[in-house]
Amino acid sequence: MFSEAVQRRSNVRGVLYPCIDYSLYLLSILAVLYFRSYWIKGFFSVLVLPILLSRLFVLGHDLAHRSLAESKAVNSIFGRLVFIPTWHSFSLWQLLHNVHHHGYTNIRSADYSWAPLSPGEFRMLSTPRRLLYRIERTVYGHGVWVLIEHFFSRMLFPRERDIGKRRAIYTLDSLLVVSFNALQALLLILTSRWMAQKGLANPMDSVTLLLMTLVIPWSVFAWLYGWLIFIQHTAPEIPWYATESPLDFVDHQKSVTPQWVFPPWFGWLFHFIHVHTAHHVKPRIPAYNLSSAQRELLDESPELVTTIPFTFHRYLDTMKKCKLYDFGRRQWCDYDGIPTGPVLDFSRPKLDPPIDGK
């Protein structure tokens, strides 16, 4: 389905891209310390650093798939390195994303990523849980979902009920993330004080410093991350399944992974993470070849692929319509159970079972 050219991975790029983005990330943190104007500090804190965290995360995502570089060691070492500032455990991400999400995309029994409730399940929730679910499925709630359903529940020191059997590597990777971020916070405080003593920057109290260099950038990144993974597998035309799909693996991935079309600059800014259908059909294709792979996919077998030009109106319409999913009627509905989208029937013989995303 895909040419050898788009599947070719480069160890040079696998090392160079993380080094470049990590350097830009560290320089931007120093910019927050250096510049005296809080307008400039805020620019780096609210815009530049969250974008760079997103870029590091996308690289970590590819390294975890072993798609950015050919070398297993490069993927493993640099994957852990770039995931640290995003507070993601490399091995847990491989489990939750590569195995659960890619192997069982939009199959709610295994894929937790923005899995919708049915109207009946929603009515059975307690009042606080219904309120939380409603908040998460608003424009403002993407970061809330990441914080509660993804980060605290599964990404660091998770419970067995959320991930299955514990492994030592999960604990070690969680300790790695926490230790390095604690060390980074300490070094930032010491560096800020040293720069103030040398007259290189105005003094900053520790709370403001950590807010502007770590907390605010991560919070904005969390919203961006939550927003992106929401639209990657959610639209009124995109189905969910309770336990299994009626399609074979490739057709299933095509049917549940819409291609949102963004301006070219968006792809360059976020390492083409939005080019998602080809990625789900063949996760080992590196990010820098995804645009070419997507064109090959659409040229050869465009059936079942939903292409959606991104506009804010279309995004808001998706947020409005995709609240609950009626698995019996196979369509999206609102909180009253009233259908908001078409019946989604993709009945075909299933030819092969889900795989682990390799």
Give me the mean pLDDT over the 185-201 stretch.
Answer: 90
Average pLDDT over residues 17-25: 96
pLDDT given at position 158: 81
Residue 355 has pLDDT above 90, yes or no: no
Tell me the pLDDT tens digit for each residue of 216-275: 999 999 999 999 999 999 999 999 999 888 888 999 999 999 999 999 999 999 999 999
The pLDDT-based confidence of 354 (bands split at 50, 70, 90) is: very low
What pLDDT was estimated at residue 303? 80
**Res 358 pLDDT > 50:** no
Q: Long-range contact list for 342-347, CB < 8 A, 24+ apart?
A: 342/236, 342/237, 344/237, 344/238, 344/239, 346/239, 346/245, 346/246, 346/247, 346/251, 346/255, 346/304, 347/246
| Whether the predicted pLDDT of 162 surpasses 80 | no
What pLDDT digit, counting tens, does each position of 266-324 carry?
A: 999 999 999 999 999 999 999 999 999 999 999 888 888 899 999 999 999 999 999 99
**Is residue 1 over pLDDT 90?**
no
**pLDDT higher than 60, residue 357:** no
Residue 347: its pLDDT value, please?
62
Confidence band, pLDDT 50/70/90 cuts, at residue 165: confident
* pLDDT, tens only, 37-94: 999 999 999 999 999 999 999 999 999 999 999 999 999 999 999 999 999 999 999 9
Q: Which pLDDT tens digit goes with each residue over 106-119?
A: 999 899 999 999 99
Q: Which pLDDT tens digit goes with each residue over 133-160?
A: 999 999 999 999 999 999 888 888 887 7
Judged against a pLDDT cut of 70, whether residue 353 lies above it is answered with no
